[in-house]
């Protein structure tokens, strides 16, 4: 069963480094959307880390964004990618929380592979370069 994570980044009109990262996750069981303010350099850093091969269990690919308030970090959007099993399958964990009420959240796990990860990385790169569009990470439900 198909799963898909989509990122869209809207650059700030005032030229600063922050823009709005909108995320959407679709799985057979859940659908969630959210958004939060993110520096475009953080998306660029995630894009670069997606090219690592192999991704190690002790050093997963992690992208996480949110805010700090009263000395406490609150995650709003988070993606963690690590190997699953001995084949080339990758486990993707996605957390999407409401930016204004972070206790309202969706946490989903699905499986993808390196070709889908390369496609996602290319779409992220193009999204940042062209300043339009979206990037989708395709996968499937882990029914095991």
pLDDT digits (tens, 9 = 90+) for 81-137: 999 987 789 999 999 999 999 999 999 999 999 999 999 999 999 999 999 999 999
Q: All domains of the chain, ordered by start, with CATH?
A: 2-131 (3.30.2450)
Residue 130 Rama label (left phi>0; alpha psi -120 to 50; beta):
alpha
Helix, strand, coil shares of the chain, percent, nearest 5, are: 20, 55, 30
DSSP 120: H
pLDDT digits (tens, 9 = 90+) for 56-78: 999 999 999 999 888 889 999 99
pLDDT of 143 > 80? The answer is: no
Which pLDDT score is estimated for 20? 96
pLDDT digits (tens, 9 = 90+) for 15-61: 889 999 999 999 999 899 999 999 999 999 999 999 999 999 999 99
Distance CA 30, CA 107 (A): 9
Distance CA 134, CA 28 (A): 21
Task: Report whether 36 contacts 102 (CB < 8 A).
Answer: no
Confidence of residue 144 (pLDDT cuts 50, 70, 90): low
pTM equals 0.94
Residue 90 Cα distances to 3, 101, 102, angstroms? 13, 30, 27
């Amino acid at each position: 069963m198909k799963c898909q994570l989509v990122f869209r980044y809207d650059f700030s009109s005032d030229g600063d480094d922050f823009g709005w990262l909108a995320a959407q996750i679709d799985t057979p069981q859940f659908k969630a959307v959210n958004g939060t303010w993110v520096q475009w350099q953080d998306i660029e850093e995630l894009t670069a880390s997606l090219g690592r091969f192999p991704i190690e269990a002790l050093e997963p690919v992690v992208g996480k964004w949110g805010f700090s308030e009263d000395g406490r970090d609150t995650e709003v959007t988070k993606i963690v990618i690590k190997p699953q099993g001995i084949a080339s399958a990758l486990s993707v964990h996605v957390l999407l929380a409401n930016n204004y009420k972070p206790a309202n959240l969706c946490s989903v796990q699905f499986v993808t592979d390196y070709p889908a990860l390369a496609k996602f990385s290319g779409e992220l790169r193009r999204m940042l370069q062209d300043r339009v569009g979206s990037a989708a990470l395709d996968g499937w439900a882990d029914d095991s």
